[in-house]
Amino acid sequence: GAARVRQLPGGGLAGLLRDGVPPGTVNLAVGTPAFPDTPPELVDAACAALRAGVHQYQDPAGVPALRERIAAGLPAAPDPDTEITVTVGGSEGLCVALLAAVDPGDEVIVLEPCYENFLSAVALAGGRVRPVPLRAPDWSLDPAELAAAMGPRTRAIILNSPSNPTGQLLGHQDLAVIAELCERWDVTVVSDEVYADYVYDGRQHCSAAEVPGLAERSIVVGSFSKSHAISGWRLGFLRAPARWTELLRQIHVATTAGAPAAFQHAAAAVDLHGPGRQQRSAAMAARRDSAVALLRDAGFHCAAPAGGCYVLAGIDGLTDEPSPAFVRTLLQEAGVLLAPATSFFADPRRGERQVRVAFNRPAETLDTARRRLLART
Ligand code: PMP
């Protein structure tokens, strides 16, 4: 096969989805939503769309009514005709963005730890990952480390706020620093904002598309997988300036010819940004609190994530085992599966002292995890 396939990371978490886990396991490893429940009106609308005969290709850029709905929910009023493209999940959006922005050999800055598909998307585009470390416990960005990593070879930077796996947010100040550096080196920004709906403690999500200096060079990746608990529907979007959108749509057409038609119609028929959005976020904040409390009580070290659906926890006080072995031990001894952080680093060894916990789960699941982990200590 092609060399780019060998560049792909090991795919630890995709393996978990494929292989399954022993029955009775409390699986806090993968981010597949088990909470909140999928909005029933979306399910009704999808059935109605199928019964109404929505079975064929649509406008590859996305059903216009859905693009309008997406645009209406975003800051700084994007034009749905020229700045929004519906994609097959954020996963396609990421790959399309990297393919559009990066030539083979170009450097792409990735803030690390990061979502593992950032590494894959860069590899598929033939780019080279330049990791910039974020430091425990709060995983905030050090502007000096970023400045030191950027230069004439930098073609793009991938941002992710709220972050998977850290739950960290990029605030206005971080984004202003990033904007200045990206202007200096003429760098394209791929801003993964798929967790934008989940921001806690009165904080606000700040999109790259609303920051002067960043907006005109940013491709924003969005998704309904987590915000509306429909990860299997494969619905996401790209928001980018018109000249970028033209390029993105060319690649999107060449790779997928469009996202699933009936599901697009369903999402277009429902108020995606209604009060349910705040309710889901408030409920997720409560899950965050439970997850942080159970981890600390069980001897892990973690900062409370400011957003997203994950917490990255240190295992130094608990074990000398590297995280992949420790995760297997926990599975055997407590029936609780966590994700080793090795998937979230360009060099997996850097993730041997942390695990990631997905807390988009029903309260009972988190309670069971708590009982099992505390029984072990
Ligand atoms: N970006 C991030 C940061 C994610 O965590 C995920 C899903 N885990 C995605 C993108 C892609 O999700 P999807 O393709 O389901 O929209």
Percent of the chain with pLDDT over 70: 97
Q: What is the mean pLDDT of the chain?
A: 95
The span from the CA of 160 to the CA of 85, in Å, is: 19
C-alpha 356/C-alpha 340 separation (Å) is 6
Residue 39 Cβ < 6 Å to ligand 1:
no
> How far does the centroid of ligand 1 lie from the alpha carbon of residue 196, in Å?
12
Q: Calculate the alpha carbon distances from 214 to 169, 180, 335 in Å.
A: 16, 8, 45
ipTM associated with this complex: 0.99
Query: Taking the complete model, does pTM exceed 0.95, yes or no?
Result: yes
pLDDT at 17: 60
Ligand 1 atom with the smallest distance to the CA of 164 is 3
Q: What average pLDDT does range 236-243 have in this prediction?
A: 98
Q: Are strands 236-239 and 84-87 parallel, antiparallel or unpaired?
A: antiparallel
**What's the pLDDT tens digit per position in 185-198?**
999 999 999 999 99
Cβ contact 130:77 at 8 Å: no
Measured CA to CA, the distance from residue 45 to residue 48 in angstroms comes to 5
Angle at 160 between CA 155 and CA 166, to 5 degrees: 130
Binding site membership of 222 for ligand 1 (Cβ less than 6 Å): no
What separation in Å is there between the alpha carbon of 257 and the centre of ligand 1? 20
Amino acid in position 181: L
- Closest listed residue to residue 310, CA positions, set 165, 170, 95, 205: 165
**Å from CA of 234 to ligand 1 middle:** 10
**pLDDT tens-place string over residues 98-129:** 999 999 999 999 999 999 999 999 999 999 99
pLDDT at 273 exceeding the cut of 70? yes
The answer on pLDDT for 15 being more than 90 is no
Q: 245: Cβ below 6 Å to ligand 1? A: no
**Which CATH topology does 55-269 take?**
Aspartate Aminotransferase; domain 2 (3.40.640)
* Whether pLDDT at 304 is above 80: yes
Return the pLDDT at 18: 65
| Proportion of the chain above pLDDT 90, given as a percent | 87
Which residue carries 């407590």 as its tokens? 334
Pick the CATH number of 3-38+275-376 from 3.40.50.800, 3.90.1150.10, 3.30.450.20, 3.40.30.10: 3.90.1150.10
Q: What is the pLDDT of residues 120-173, one digit of tens each?
A: 999 999 999 999 999 888 899 999 999 999 999 999 999 999 999 999 999 999
pLDDT, tens digit, 9 for 90 and up, residues 80-100: 999 999 999 999 999 999 999
Listed residue (344, 340, 341, 343) closest to 331, CA to CA:
340
CA of 194 to the centre of ligand 1 (A): 6
pLDDT(12) > 70: no
The per-residue pLDDT for range 176-232, each reduced to its tens digit, is 999 999 999 999 999 999 999 999 999 999 999 999 999 999 999 999 999 999 999
Site to probe by mutation for ligand 1, drawn from 88, 91, 238 as the one with most ligand atoms within 8 Å of Cβ, is: 91
The whole-number pLDDT of residue 13 equals 62
2 alpha carbon to ligand 1 midpoint, in Å? 25
Enumerate the domain spans of the chain: 3-38+275-376, 55-269
Is the confidence at residue 302, as pLDDT, over 90?
A: yes
218-223 and 236-239: which strand pairing? antiparallel
Query: What is the pLDDT at residue 60?
Result: 98
Residue 352 CB coordination number (10 Å): 17
Mean pLDDT, residues 319-331 taken together: 95
Q: Which residues contact 332 (CB under 8 A, 6 or more apart)?
A: none
Check residue 349 and give its pLDDT: 96
Ligand 1 centroid to Cα of residue 58, in Å, is 24
